[in-house]
Structure formats: C-alpha cells, structure tokens
Amino acid sequence: MIPLNVTLSYYKRKDIQEEMVIAAKNREVAIRFNDHFGQRPDVLNNPADILELAKQKATSFHISEELWKNPLQLSLKLKKHETEELRIGWDLVLDIDCGIFEYSRIAADIIIKALKFHNVKSVSCKFSGNKGFHIGVPFESFPETIRGEKTSSLFPDAPRRVALYIKEMIKNNVSKDILKFENGNFENIVKKTQKKVKEITRYEKNEYGDNIATLDAEPFLVIDTILISSRHMFRMPYSLHEKSHLASIPINPDKVLEFEKEHANPKNIIISKYRFLDKENIIRNDAKDLLIQSFDFQPVIEETKAEEKKSLTTFESAVPEELFPPCIKLGLQGLKDGRKRFVFILINFLVSTGWDYDAIEKKLKEWNKKNPESLREVTVLGQLRYHKQQKKKILPPNCSNESYYLDIGICKPDNLCNKIKNPVNYCQRKGFSSKKAVKTQ
C-alpha cells in the first residue's frame, strides 16, 4: 500500500493534475483505491478532482485505450453496435511485461526502433511504474479507413494485429540483445527468469547448416496482445504504482536505455516534454504502412464463395514464371513503393501455385535485389518464416482489393484478367492446371 501522506503530497501538485486531465480526455477512467477499483465508468475533467480523490485514498488512475464520445454512457448492457457508436477511435498501446526491468527496457528500445523503421514518427513511451514500459501510437496517426472499413471500428482487431506483427518482427533481436546484455552468460538469464534451459533455448542454422543453440526470450517477455480488448485500461501517465510506489512517467523514446527507476521517484518528478500519446504533435497517417503491413502479416481469411471453391486447384508442381499474371510479372521487376505488400502477395501466390519454400526464399532474395531500395532481409524472410509456421495455404488478395495491385501500381490487365478474380486463377486459365493440377474436392 502507498502511504496516504505520499499520495496526497504527490497528487496535490498542479502540474501533475493538469497532465493527468489532458491524458484522460475522451477516455473512460478507473480509479484504484489500493486493493480495489472504484465504480465504472468514470471520467476525469477537473484537475482539482484528483486531489479530492486522493483524500478519499485513491492510489492510482487508469484510462482506456479506446476514445469515446461520452464515456459515462458505457455499460456492459450495451450491444456491440451501441458500443461502437460511442467509440470515436483508439490508441495503440503496447504493454511490455517482464519480471526483469533491464530486459523490458531492451525490448522497449527495439520496439520503438521497429515502429520508426515503418516511418511512424508519432511514437511515445512511458515507464509503467514498476518493471515494464508502455509504447504508444495515437489513433490520429492511422488512416481513417483500411480495406473499406473505418479504422475506428477495428478495435481490438487492428491493434492486436500490430502487436502480433511487431512481436514477431523483433523477437530474434530482443533475444540477441538480452544475451549480449548478459555477456553471453546463459546461467544469469536462467537464474533471473527462473526458467529451465530448454524452455528458453531455440536453434537456428549457421552458414554451414548446423543447428546452433541460442536464447529464446518469448517465454519470459510478454508484449501484451491478449489484453488489448474492449474497455481495457492502462495506467495513466503520472499515476503512481501501488507495488513500487513509483510514478508512471513519459520518457524520451530515443533514450529508453538511459532510463533508471530512480527517475520515477515521486519526489523527483519533473514534467516531461515528451507527452505520452501526444495529441498536439501528430503527423497524420504516418502509421498507415504499419497498419497495412500488420494486416498483411496475419490476414483475415475470407470465406470463399461456393462457386469460387470449385475453381480452386492444387498444383502438383511449381507453375513456371511465363504463366504468371501481369501483376506478378511486373512486381517481380522491382518496386519503388509497396514492396512490403508485394512480399505478402508474392509469398501467398507462390505457395498457392506449387512452389516450395526454398525456391520461394531464393526468388524473394532475387527480387529484393532488383528494388531501387532493398528491404531489410529480416523483413522479407520474417514474413516467409511466419507463413511456414502457420502451415496454411492462403490465396493472395483478390484482384478487386484496391489496397494491393492497383494501389501498388502493378495492375496492368491483359485480355485474360477480366475473366479471373484472383492471380492464382490466371495460371489455371492459362492452361497449366489442366495438365499439372488436380481439382480440390
């Protein structure tokens, strides 16, 4: 429990009150009184209310990831469409949870770099108040629509996809940096995490094809995806933490590795110029590519219409490139824009047309060299690795999906294209399937 004199002394500060009210705008608020939460829903509009709540023994304040027209109208009795009518948006909040502060700090730094790699500039970060960090991207950084749907209605699906995509993208680098932090001492990691060696060991092939044991940080480092759900809360910026008695303070996202817990001592808090989920300095749509890439990475598998199912084929051998549709041929020549989306298209197209993963990897590497600016190999092969793990054959996006072929600039149809719905069907129409493929049952 946090002593009452500590909470009163801290929450009476005007600058703290003002920052907390700014953070609470358009959000549902939950107030914690040491071991229990107050009644929900609640809001926080007046700075003076914070001190009054502290006098009532409030210890911490929590806010929703979702943004609401009127949070006080929220209720468990509301139907889904009624809740969605109240929602005006959502912020992406990635919660890094690990029992070891130093490991969480490493992960936070790598996640921030991954987001910036995707050209997201409106990235913010705050210390959770105990052993973790929160990474934030404001809703306004995302496009208003994606795939014909309002982005505001895609909660929790969209932020979950981003979290899963980022988690997969960074996991190897996090493991390597943690091992480097421990100077290669595996025993230190075992002692700190209290995990068995086999639980945190993975194998990767070296240049000679040998399996080499290395660290797998996934079992002890969690990037919250499950808790990204409707009306989920996170600790408000500048709120105190009941266990550590520290404050959840915003920090410079470029200097996470320099942050130490003593910086969050309530007695030492100075209002940071790096506001968490800053709504005043937003670069609109700078997270568009991140969102599209995340949907590409783990797509919703649309139900295929009955008449389309009849035309699906299983290819017994790889379709030769001369039978590829114009969009795939054009994309394979190299692209200036839309390269990450084309990786998704190409992998699913090649798998669906009988290519094995070794041949696909070779083709991806050849294609990447043709691009005016090559993608990082970890990005290209990361998607291929993820596809292999899923063990599912997924068709590439249909030709009518404007977020792909038309948007990328590779939709240059020939006379056959108006008879197909998917690039894979093109190969079948070309006559290859009649000789080399067997119709699915």
Question: What digits encode the pLDDT tens for the residues 325-360?
Answer: 999 999 999 998 888 889 889 998 999 999 999 999
- For residue 145, give the nearest of 343, 292, 337 by alpha carbon: 292
Contacts of residue 117, defined as CB under 8 A and 6 or more positions apart, other chains included, come to 376
Single-letter code of the amino acid located at 437 = A
In this prediction, residue 295 carries a pLDDT of 85
Task: Say yes or no to pLDDT of 221 above 50.
Answer: yes
In this prediction, residue 384 carries a pLDDT of 83
Task: Say yes or no to pLDDT of 438 above 50.
Answer: no
Average pLDDT over residues 255-277: 95
Task: Say yes or no to pLDDT of 304 above 50.
Answer: no
- For residue 313, give the nearest of 414, 390, 399, 393 by alpha carbon: 393
In this prediction, residue 297 carries a pLDDT of 76
**Contact between residue 75 and residue 106 where contact means Cβ atoms under 8 Å apart:** no
In this prediction, residue 302 carries a pLDDT of 36
Model pLDDT for residues 355-384, shown as the tens digit of each residue: 999 999 999 999 999 999 888 777 788 778
In this prediction, residue 68 carries a pLDDT of 96
Stretch among 79-83, 224-228, 273-277 having the lowest mean pLDDT: 224-228
The reported pTM is 0.70
**Domains of the chain by start residue, with CATH:** 4-289 (3.90.920.10), 303-439 (no CATH)
In this prediction, residue 28 carries a pLDDT of 95
Three-state DSSP state, 103: helix
Q: Torsions phi, psi of 49, nearest 5?
A: -65, -25
In angstroms, rounded to a whole number, what is the distance separating the alpha carbons of residues 402 and 404?
5
Q: ω before 156 within 30° of 0 (cis)?
A: yes
Helix (H) or strand (E) holding 33: strand 29-33
In angstroms, rounded to a whole number, what is the distance separating the alpha carbons of residues 375 and 226?
30
Task: Say yes or no to pLDDT of 224 above 80.
Answer: no
In this prediction, residue 133 carries a pLDDT of 96
3-state SS of the chain: helix, strand, coil percent to 5? 45, 15, 40
Handedness of CA 56, 61, 64, 68 (dihedral sign): positive
**Contact between residue 178 and residue 215 where contact means Cβ atoms under 8 Å apart:** yes
> What's the N-to-C CA distance of the chain in angstroms?
64
In angstroms, rounded to a whole number, what is the distance separating the alpha carbons of residues 271 and 311?
62
Helix (H) or strand (E) holding 7: helix 4-11
Cα–Cα distances (Å) from 87 to 68, 83, 106, 117, 236, in that order, read: 5, 6, 34, 30, 19
Residues in the chain: 441
In angstroms, rounded to a whole number, what is the distance separating the alpha carbons of residues 162 and 91?
12
Average pLDDT over residues 385-409: 76
In DSSP notation, 170-185 reads HHHHHHHHHHHHTTT-
Q: Which long-range contacts does 179-186 make (Cβ < 8 Å, 24+ apart)?
A: 179/214, 179/215, 181/102, 181/103, 181/106, 186/215
